[in-house]
């Protein structure tokens, strides 16, 4: 009987330790989750948000301006812009920058009314021209082209 009571006491003690350990694990996981959520909320306007743009609206223009500013600050960035299409395939523009040079890819292979070409420009300058109703981004100083030859332009409306 004494042995059974000792065994029962040991089991209770082990059970308490297990419960404490599992409680500690749950608290640590919840803390990690809360920290992760906090970081996501803090970085909501971070440069990594909005990598794929599907609309040419004010949000897309703001994101493109972020890419432009980051390029001027010699910071890397990436953006994929999927142009709107009604009855043809979309034109996809990939813009990839390491902060020093920019690779601008115009992919028209899904658009049935184009020649289906994929144009790749490796350039050293990103241009922004702000007009009354629109902002135009393009690249220049590209490999294999004249220095002032503008390539790969994309237009966003100013609203």
Answer yes or no: do 23 and 101 share one domain: no
Q: With a threshold of 0.75, does the pTM exceed it?
A: no
Both 66 and 133 in one domain: the answer is yes
In the chain, how many domains are there?
Answer: 2
**Cα separation of 3 and 18, whole Å?**
22
- Same-domain status, 68 and 100: yes
* Backbone angles phi and psi of 76, in degrees to 5: -80, 160
* The pairing of beta strand 118-130 with beta strand 134-142: antiparallel
Domain, as residue range, for 82: 52-157
* 77 and 150 assigned to the same domain: yes
Query: Does the pLDDT at position 140 exceed 90?
Result: yes
Alpha helices in the chain (DSSP H): 2-42, 58-72
Q: pLDDT digit string (tens) for 62-104?
A: 999 999 999 999 999 999 998 877 777 888 999 999 999 999 9
Q: Tell me, what's the pLDDT at 90?
A: 85
Taking 90 as the threshold, does the pLDDT of residue 24 lie above it?
no
At residue 42 the predicted structure's pLDDT band, cuts being 50, 70 and 90, is: low
Average pLDDT over residues 133-148: 93
* Same domain membership, residue 105 and residue 35: no
Residues 111-140 have a mean pLDDT of 91
What pLDDT, on a 0 to 100 scale, did the predictor assign at position 117?
A: 87
From CA 4, how far away is CA 2, in angstroms rounded?
5
Residues 112 and 144 in one domain: yes
């Amino acid at each position: 009987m004494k042995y059974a009571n000792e065994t029962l006491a040991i089991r209770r003690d082990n059970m308490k330790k297990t419960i404490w350990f599992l409680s500690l694990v749950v608290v640590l996981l919840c803390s990690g989750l809360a920290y992760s959520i906090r970081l996501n909320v803090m970085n909501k306007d971070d440069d990594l948000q909005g990598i794929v743009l599907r609309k040419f609206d004010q949000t897309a223009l703001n994101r493109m301006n972020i890419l432009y500013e980051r390029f001027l600050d010699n910071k890397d960035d990436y953006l994929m812009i999927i142009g709107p299409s009604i009855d043809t395939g979309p034109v996809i523009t990939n813009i990839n920058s390491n902060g020093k040079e920019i690779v601008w890819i115009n992919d028209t292979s899904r658009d049935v009314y184009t020649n289906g070409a994929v144009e790749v420009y490796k350039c050293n300058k990103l241009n922004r021209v702000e007009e009354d109703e629109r902002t135009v981004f393009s690249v220049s100083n590209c490999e294999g082209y004249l220095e002032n030859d503008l390539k790969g332009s994309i237009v966003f409306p100013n609203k």
